[in-house]
Amino acid sequence: MAASLLLNRVSRSVSLHRVGGALSFSSLDAQFLVGRISGTLFRGRSLATLAEGGASCFDEMVSANQRKYYLLGGKGGVGKTSCAASLAVKFASHGHPTIVVSTDPAHSLSDSFSQDLSGGVLKPVQGVDSPLLALEITPERMKEEIKNQAGDKSVKNMMDSMGLGMFAGELGDLNLEDMLNAASPGIDEIAAISKVLQFVESPEYSKFTRIVFDTAPTGHTLRLLSLPDFYDSSISKITKLKKKITAAASAFTSVFGKKKEIQEQGPSNELDQLKERMEKVRNVFRDVDTTEFVIVTIPTVMAINETSRLHESLRKENVPVHRLIVNQLLPHSESDCKFCSVRRKEQTRVLGLIQKDTELSGLKLIQSPLLDAEIRGVPALKFMGDLIWK
Ligand X SMILES: Nc1ncnc2c1ncn2[C@@H]1O[C@H](COP(=O)(O)OP(=O)(O)OP(=O)(O)O)[C@@H](O)[C@H]1O
Residues that are catalytic = 104
Return the number of the residue (11 or 269) whose C-beta is nearest ligand X: 11
Kindly give, in sequence order, each residue whose CB lies less than 8 Å from that of residue 139, ignoring residues fewer than 6 positions away. 103, 105, 188, 189, 191, 192, 216
Return the number of the residue (179 or 310) whose C-beta is nearest ligand X: 310
CA dist 345 → 53, 100, 299, 336, 348 (Å): 18, 36, 11, 11, 5
Return the number of the residue (91 or 213) whose C-beta is nearest ligand X: 213
Q: At closest approach, how far in Å is the CB of 217 from ligand X?
A: 5
Interface with ligand X by CB under 6 A: which residues? 76-82, 104, 106, 108, 217, 327-328, 368, 370-371, 374-375
Q: At closest approach, how far in Å is the CB of 373 from ligand X?
A: 7
CA dist 366 → 178, 296, 322 (Å): 43, 9, 11
Please, which contacts does 140-148 make with residues 24 or more away whose CB atoms are closer than 8 Å? Answer: 140/105, 140/188, 142/188, 142/191, 142/192, 142/195, 143/180, 143/184, 143/187, 143/188, 143/191, 145/191, 145/195, 146/180, 146/187, 146/191, 146/274, 147/176, 147/177, 147/180
Distance between first and last Cα of the chain? 25
Q: At closest approach, how far in Å is the CB of 219 from ligand X?
A: 11
The DSSP bridge partners found for residue 72 are: 214, 294
Return the number of the residue (81 or 98) whose C-beta is nearest ligand X: 81
Return the number of the residue (15 or 209) whose C-beta is nearest ligand X: 15
Q: At closest approach, how far in Å is the CB of 370 from ligand X?
A: 5
